[in-house]
Amino acid sequence: MSTTFKIQESHIKTIHDICDSFNNDPGELINVLHKCQGEFGYLPEDVQREIASKMKISVAKVYGVVSFYSFFTMTPKGRHAISVCMGTACYVRGAEKVVDEFKSQLSIKVGGVTEDGKFSLDCLRCVGACGLAPVVLIGEKVYGRVEPHQVKDILAEYND
Amino acid sequence: MNKIKSLDDLRKMKQSLEHGMNIREKSNSPESLVQIRVAMATCGIAAGARTVMNTLIEKIEKEKIPAVVTQGGCMGYCYAEPTIEVKVPGKDPVVFGNVDSKVAIEIVDKYIVNGELIDGVIPTNYQTINEQK
Amino acid sequence: MAQYKMHLLVCGGTGCRASQSEEIIKNLNTEIKNLGLENDAQVVTTGCFGFCEKGPIVKIVPDNTFYTQVKPEDCEEIVREHILKGRKVTRLLYEDPETHKHVEDSKHMGFYQKQLRIALRNCGFIDPENIDEYIARDGYAAIAKIFESMTPQQAIDEIKKSGLRGRGGGGFPTGLKWEIASKNSADQKYVVCNADEGDPGAFMDRSILEGDPHSVIEAMAICGYCIGATKGLVYIRAEYPLAIKRLQTAIKQAREYGLLGNDIMDSGFDFDIELKYGAGAFVCGEETSLIHSMEGLRGEPTVKPPFPAEKGYKGKPTNVNNVETFANVPVIYLKGADWYNKIGTEKSKGTKVFALAGKINNVGLIEVPMGITLREVIFEIGGGIKNGKKFKAVQTGGPSGGCLTEKHLDTPIDFDNLIASGSMMGSGGMIVMDEDDCMVSMAKFYLEFTVEESCGKCAPCRIGNKRLHEILEKICAGKGTEDDLEYLENLSKVIKDTSLCGLGQTSPNPVLSTLENFYDEYLSHVKERRCIAGSCKALKLYTIISDKCTGCTACTRACPVGAITGEKRQPHVIDADKCIRCGACYDKCKFTAIHVQ
Amino acid sequence: MEKINLTIDNINVEVDKGTTIYKAAKKAGIDIPVLCYLNLEHLNIENRPGGCRICVVEVEGRKNLAPSCSTECTQGMVVKTHTLRVLNARKTVLELILSDHPAACLTCSSSGQCDLQDLSQKMGIREIHAVENAKVSTYRKDASPALNRDMDKCIMCRRCETICNDVQTVGALSGINRGFMSVVAPAFEQDLEDSPCTFCGQCVAVCPTGALTPFDDTNRVIRALADPKKTVIVQTAPAVRAALGEEFGMEPGTLVTGKMVAALRTLGFDKVFDTDFAADLTIMEEGTELLGRLTKFLAGDKDVKLPILTSCCPAWVNFFEHNYTDMLDVPSTARSPQQMFGAIAKTYFADMMKVKREDLVVVSVMPCLAKKYECERDEFKVDGNPDVDYSISTRELARLIKAANINFKALPDEDYDNPMGESTGAGVIFGVTGGVIEAAVRTAYELHTGKKLQKIDFEELRGLEGIRMATIDFDGIPINIGIAHQLGNARKLLDGIRSGMYNFHAIEIMACPGGCIGGAGQPLHHGDSNIIRARFDAIYREDAGKPIRKSHENPYIVKLYEEFLGHPMSEKAHHLLHTHYFEKHKI
């Protein structure tokens, strides 16, 4: 679980600024975590410790919150984060097969990152583009009506 | 920005703003409105259909007539361009040919407001707007 | 001021933006400029039209032309043909799935004909980022009217009279809820808008916030006035960036106009709104969980009473309504409670927004009067089942709801009828299923969701749903027994009976309702080891039809486990014990000799 | 107070408004089973998440079953507590809980004391449905010097979390994860040693299963006893004698000092001593330190740090080392009685017995789990050899006695050995909240004023309220005293001092409810705070019955100073009996 993330002075300042902007109010913890995840891409242990100490909340409580909400992550995402919508509409239109295809193409599990750190694969709940089901998001880009046989081509778009 | 301070302020503001939205509001219930369609194909435009359309829009706006002006393709009366089709609720549509700004105002004043027939009607076996095509 | 002859309304909702609606807007504007039509036509970015199946949508008014699945490269043609020459681009018009004819204008589309748009009245009609357009449509007139002529109690009475019930799932009378909150005195009270839409497959709240944020802001302020709260909070999913942006813009504009802030319209009433972000927890749709989450805590529910109206956010009286409920409020004041009261059924007034999805032709967001039948929704508005398949069931209420079948098709939809039929309104997800959908798998899918979303606080929900899911998995894997079915039912009932919050109290509904309506399907899974719908992989049986088999050996070579044997040019056979049901042989066979059961 | 009338199982009950169904039923003599619910009324501790759903009952007119622990009675309510629907629900839910619990009762250290086990016995669970292939949630295990965490056995009652956060305000634990994998754990499921845990062990004291258990030192003690080369001596803390009897079915509050000494001798300890002796020694050192600081303060010395804080409680020491790093020079430097005993035993006593330090094994019997951690602190070791080798809890002692087949109840009363077995009433009351400061006052008053106390009992310092304050007249000088038990109350007191709200000369703090009598090593109270109350009374009874009740009058203490230490706060005393504190800032 421990990551290679090493916290630096500049990070500490960023974290403190974010906490200060919410008046270090423990009630704003979730907003603070959102901002910090936006800043670092994920929430490594050290970041959580720093938030806890700055906001005077126990780090156990901070971790309790981070581990409760699916939006927060403690592992860095791949450079291209793949999210397959698993909302009901997408599910009935075959999202599961699409996920399976990504898993086998990338040889990673859901929640995993490829060894080169290029892709990560996650499932998410409804993105609300049910008309395009099944939907896959890669970074900000949305792919609609995805069929398993298209997966290979989609991934090929990201050849560096 | 001036703050809205009362219902009155809001009403005044609404009045000045709804002008811009009219066209959309009217599209909500076209069947209860007078529908005017201006034939706007190349022939029509060449014959001045655009001016006629502007005149019509200004006129109904000025007279506060519950009407909506749309544009359509060529109606096939190229000899009589610009042509417009007027559908008053409850009546059959009527097509007018050789409409210029002057005639357009006359159509509004006489046919639409007072229900009088005027010259320039193209007699057709034409049905209704919606059944076309 | 230029008087445009035409408005081009382009859907800027999340769904259509995903298919390049921003690019379309850019191209339309460029082309209009190229042709010098800037004074004739205006392009407006609106919220969702609801017809997401065929997005991106471009609608042209006043002639109500409805272009579907528009691509950025279509823009030139639209402007040149339609705007300049008045000729509709026929190939982009909506095609009726039955008659295969192009429909000229949206007024004649089955999708819209039966709809009645109250909560969605401005969605797809106004530019949500422009407060002026909202005001032009009587925006903020409701609150102004209340300030001028109503006491808080009178304003509450109006809502009570309208019969409006909470649209978040429970259907609690909104007026009564407000009244309770108004009667609890405190130095500070809160109005909370629940925009943490978590039901997978429902997106009405997002659409409203994206398409008409001001109606929610206005309604929250009205609620604040009624209950005596000066602070409003919107708890919104962080996964809805566009809705967040539009809401922030709207709040800023309302503040600039003095419609939020201190002493609104010289009424002496102060009200302002702040956003709180959810972080991906379905349970936070439950009021007490939502409040804990807003307080920076784990979103675990607490026992009610005390209700939030007594002790809510920061321990103060708090009124929580969802987005759709709020969106109904301003119209009620503008058109009157009596008007609203006439829509709907005896106990469910007004309209309900549904997110129609699944195996249906017209996927999208619809708003229909309460009391409409499922048949009308599925076959008239929804355009029937996709690919001409047979209707099997419709799932309403998401993970908390149940399945309705053929026999419910003519039941009028309202809160109470849905519950009586073993389902519920929920937030309004409506997933249509056809003959290829296995109902056991469907129940399993929902349970999987519940297991993932259970907060873990109470034992029946935390462990019980996990066990339900395990039993369903066992059944789908062909290992279930009839005893399992019995236990499934008992366990479901106990979970409903003992769970702490609404999530656990409703999570077994998909199981109970499929058990009730599709018991035979369960039985065939456990007794015959057969999945009627053919969707449970483990229950598939691959055989070779010897008459058709030419002995080409393509299947033998494709089979990853060597389950197929046979002489060349002789019919082959599949060893069912070895077969892993991967389907490779089926895909490879050129003679359709592989039979799947 | 508004009254509510309701019927429970056809019995009419009248209760105050706000009463829960559970309490109303209790009043009507109806016992509703509970699992997560915990209420220590005397101590204002309540855990009521409404999570286990075992206590559900049927309420007429209500759609689903109601959790009786957290549903308030309403006028005219009709409640049924054991209909078939209720019984089926309870049984099904309990089966579910058991289906996610390792079936390892035979070897579980909580077996026989486990609320979950009791309940399944009571409800006659004989099989668990759907257990085939059922996933069981498993977590990282952790063994700290004081306690073991095996959260596979956790049932998410949240008692430990409530205690750690709301009562103790330590914040080492929190609910983590979600759904099936949710559990209570330190941040990142890290080891407790890396967390701000103080090892007070109160989480263990309330755990209804074997998820949180004391670190077991009994085997090490048995091995030492069996080693012929070792001289093994034992010290017993004051609170042990007031609770040990409970483990043998005796009434709470029964004093078993004599039987305990006899049992320890039977077990083979070479000498049976009393930590109370060391408590008297503590008073000499801490009292002198207090008087020293007080005298300087009264003389106008601005550098002197007041109030003086007691330092006997190791969990409290950990707490301020974590949370009040700016105040590390405020607490008394006196070591705790356990450690003073160890230091004297391995010097003075070892010399007296002519035993080499490494051949002398000092065992302590403590009501406490933090003591296990305390004796492992480096500053209490000489060349790696600890002053106190092993600390076992009251419950561990009971287990040793049972394992040795000793009929405890039939044992004769025996006396402690000398020289370190003699103690005063002041030493005994170290076991309750307010006791240490009362003992200190008894001595400091006489030493400071040179007068004999008219009345030895300082009632104003006694009681179970979380925070107590009193002013004692030191012959014209008012001495302000603050007392807190449970760390949350300590925090309030400390914060008040930091902010200048309070002005105390001396403060006593104990981490556990009621003081050491409510320690985590004591027999489990299972949520009954009357038990703690009974031990509380017993301690004062023991004090009242002692011939000597002031520490400075303990003849063996006097002798110890004469023969070995010189005088209180002497250089030797300083070296052996005092300590210093470390910054352990962790969130």
Looking at residue B122, its pLDDT comes to 65
Q: Is D231 in the same domain as D272?
A: yes
Cis preceding linkage at A44, omega within 30: no
Q: From CA D31, how far away is CA D41, in angstroms rounded?
A: 17
Question: Average pLDDT, stretch A98-115?
Answer: 91
In a domain, residue D586? The reply is: no
Sign of CA dihedral D154, D155, D161, D164: negative
Inter-chain CB proximity D56 and C466 less than 8 Å: no
In a domain, residue D133? The reply is: no
Q: From CA D562, how far away is CA D35, in angstroms rounded?
A: 56
Sequential DSSP letters for C245-276:
HHHHHHHHHHHHTTSSBSSGGGSS--BEEEEE
In a domain, residue A3? The reply is: no
Q: Is A52 in the same domain as A111?
A: no
E strands, D266-373, are 271-274, 308-309, 360-366
Of C96-110, C291-305, C369-383, D179-193, the range with the lowest mean pLDDT is C96-110
Tell me the CATH number of domain B29-122, given options 3.30.1370.60, 3.40.30.10, 3.40.605.10, 3.55.10.10. Answer: 3.40.30.10
Nearest by CB to residue B10, choosing from C84, C88, C141, is: C141
pLDDT in tens, A52-98: 999 999 999 999 999 999 999 998 888 898 989 887 778 878 888 89
Closest by Cα among D436, D414, D413 to D425? D436
Inter-chain CB proximity A131 and C363 less than 8 Å: yes
Q: Is D444 in the same domain as D471?
A: yes
State the CATH number of the domain containing residue D379.
Answer: 3.40.50.1780
- Helix, coil or strand: residue C344: strand
Domain of residue D377, residue span: 218-277+339-410
Q: Are C404 and C396 in contact (CB under 8 A)?
A: yes
Q: Indicate the residue among A66, A93, A109 that finishes a domain.
A: A66
In the predicted structure, residue A2 carries a pLDDT above the cut 50: no
In a domain, residue D400? The reply is: yes
- Helix, coil or strand: residue B31: helix
In the predicted structure, residue C43 carries a pLDDT above the cut 50: yes
pLDDT in tens, A28-41: 999 999 999 999 98
Look at the block and give the residue holding tokens 């950990």.
D318
Q: Is D307 in the same domain as D359?
A: no
Could you tell me which residues are beta bridge partners of residue A143?
Answer: A136
Of C269-278, C552-561, D29-38, the range with the lowest mean pLDDT is C552-561
Inter-chain CB proximity A60 and D189 less than 8 Å: no
Chain D residues in contact with C497 by the CB 8 A cut-off are 56, 64-65, 85, 89
A153, containing H or E segment: helix A151-156
Question: Average pLDDT, stretch C50-59?
Answer: 86
Sorted by where each begins, the domain ranges of chain B are 29-122
- Retrieve residue D193's tokens: 């040693």
- Retrieve residue D562's tokens: 């004469």
Q: Is D293 in the same domain as D324?
A: yes
Inter-chain CB proximity B14 and C108 less than 8 Å: no
Of D373 and B3, the structure prediction assigns the larger pLDDT to: D373
pLDDT in tens, D87-137: 999 999 999 999 999 989 999 999 999 999 999 999 999 988 765 678 889
The catalytic site residues of D sit at: 286, 289, 312, 332, 371, 374, 379, 516
Chain A residues in contact with D163 by the CB 8 A cut-off are none
In a domain, residue A149? The reply is: yes
In a domain, residue D417? The reply is: no
Q: From CA D571, how far away is CA B65, in angstroms rounded?
A: 108
Q: Is D395 in the same domain as D448?
A: no
Determine how many CB atoms are found less than 10 A away from the CB of residue D71.
24
| Mean pLDDT value across chain C | 91
Q: From CA D298, how far away is CA C110, in angstroms rounded?
A: 93
pLDDT in tens, C384-412: 998 889 999 999 888 888 999 999 999 99
In a domain, residue D30? The reply is: yes
Question: Average pLDDT, stretch D176-191?
Answer: 96
The rounded Cα C378 to chain-centroid distance in angstroms is: 15
Chain A residues in contact with C199 by the CB 8 A cut-off are 126
In a domain, residue A1? The reply is: no
pLDDT in tens, D448-474: 899 999 899 999 999 999 999 999 998
Structural domain total, chain D: 4
Dihedral Cα C432, C434, C440, C442, nearest 10 deg: -30
Q: Measured between CB atoms, does C240 come within 8 Å of chain A?
A: yes
Q: In chain C, what are the domains?
A: 6-109 (3.40.30.10), 131-340 (3.40.50.11540), 351-434 (3.10.20.600), 439-526 (1.20.1440.230), 540-596 (3.30.70.20)
C-chain residue closest to D84, CA distance: C494
In the predicted structure, residue A4 carries a pLDDT above the cut 70: no
D64 burial class (0-12, 13-18, 19+ CB within 10 angstroms)?
Answer: middle
State the CATH number of the domain containing residue D37.
Answer: 3.10.20.740
Determine how many CB atoms are found less than 10 A away from the CB of residue C442.
27
State the CATH number of the domain containing residue A87.
Answer: 3.40.30.10
A83 burial class (0-12, 13-18, 19+ CB within 10 angstroms)?
Answer: buried
Closest by Cα among D579, D563, D552 to D351? D563
D-chain residue closest to C502, CA distance: D64
Structural domain total, chain A: 2
Determine what percent of chain D is predicted with pLDDT higher than 90: 87
Per-residue pLDDT of chain B (133 residues; tens, 9 = 90+): 578 888 888 888 888 888 778 778 877 777 778 888 888 777 777 778 888 888 888 888 888 888 888 887 777 676 777 888 888 888 888 888 888 888 888 888 888 888 777 776 665 544 444 444 3
Looking at residue A46, its pLDDT comes to 94
Nearest by CB to residue A64, choosing from D175, D196, D587, is: D175
In a domain, residue D232? The reply is: yes
State the CATH number of the domain containing residue D312.
Answer: 3.40.950.10
- Chains A, C: CB contacts within 8 A come to 130
Nearest by CB to residue B24, choosing from C1, C7, C259, is: C7
pLDDT in tens, C208-265: 999 999 999 999 999 999 999 999 999 998 888 889 999 999 999 999 999 999 999 9
In a domain, residue D548? The reply is: yes
Determine how many CB atoms are found less than 10 A away from the CB of residue B64.
7
ipTM above 0.85, yes or no: yes
In a domain, residue D387? The reply is: yes
Inter-chain CB proximity A30 and C277 less than 8 Å: yes
Looking at residue B128, its pLDDT comes to 43
Question: Average pLDDT, stretch D59-88?
Answer: 96
Question: Average pLDDT, stretch D285-304?
Answer: 89
Q: Indicate the residue among D358, D389, D410 that finishes a domain.
A: D410
Q: Show the CA angle centred on residue D321, arms to residues D315 and D326, nearest 5°.
A: 145
C-chain residue closest to B39, CA distance: C86
Q: Is D224 in the same domain as D181?
A: no
Q: Are C234 and C195 in contact (CB under 8 A)?
A: yes
- Helix, coil or strand: residue B85: strand
Half-sphere exposure of C125 (CA within 13 A, CB side): 24
Q: Are C77 and C103 in contact (CB under 8 A)?
A: no
Q: From CA D533, how far away is CA C135, in angstroms rounded?
A: 69
Nearest by CB to residue D176, choosing from A53, A57, A64, is: A64
Domain of residue A97, residue span: 80-156
B-chain residue closest to C64, CA distance: B27
C411 burial class (0-12, 13-18, 19+ CB within 10 angstroms)?
Answer: middle
Instruction: Give the distance from residue D184's alpha carbon to the nearest chain A alpha carbon, in angstroms.
Output: 9
Question: Average pLDDT, stretch D308-324?
Answer: 94
In a domain, residue A14? The reply is: yes
Q: How many residues does chain A have?
A: 160
| Partners of chain C (3+ Cβ pairs below 8 A) | A, B, D
Q: Is A88 in the same domain as A152?
A: yes
Of B41 and C572, the structure prediction assigns the larger pLDDT to: C572
Q: Measured between CB atoms, does B73 come within 8 Å of chain C?
A: yes
- Retrieve residue C333's tokens: 């004041």
Report the greatest alpha carbon distance in chain C.
Answer: 93
Looking at residue A59, its pLDDT comes to 96
Q: Is A90 in the same domain as A40?
A: no
Nearest by CB to residue A58, choosing from D178, D188, D587, is: D587
Q: Measured between CB atoms, does C212 come within 8 Å of chain A?
A: no
Residues of chain D contacting C, Cβ within 8 Å: 49-54, 56, 64-65, 67, 70-72, 85, 88-89, 92-93, 96-97, 99-100, 129-130, 133-135, 155-156, 175, 177-182
Could you tell me which residues are beta bridge partners of residue C41?
Answer: C6
Q: Is A112 in the same domain as A148?
A: yes
Q: From CA C238, how far away is CA D261, in angstroms rounded?
A: 65
Please indicate whether chains B and A are in contact, defined as at least 3 beta carbon pairs under 8 Å: no
Q: Measured between CB atoms, does C167 come within 8 Å of chain A?
A: no
Q: Is D75 in the same domain as D93?
A: yes
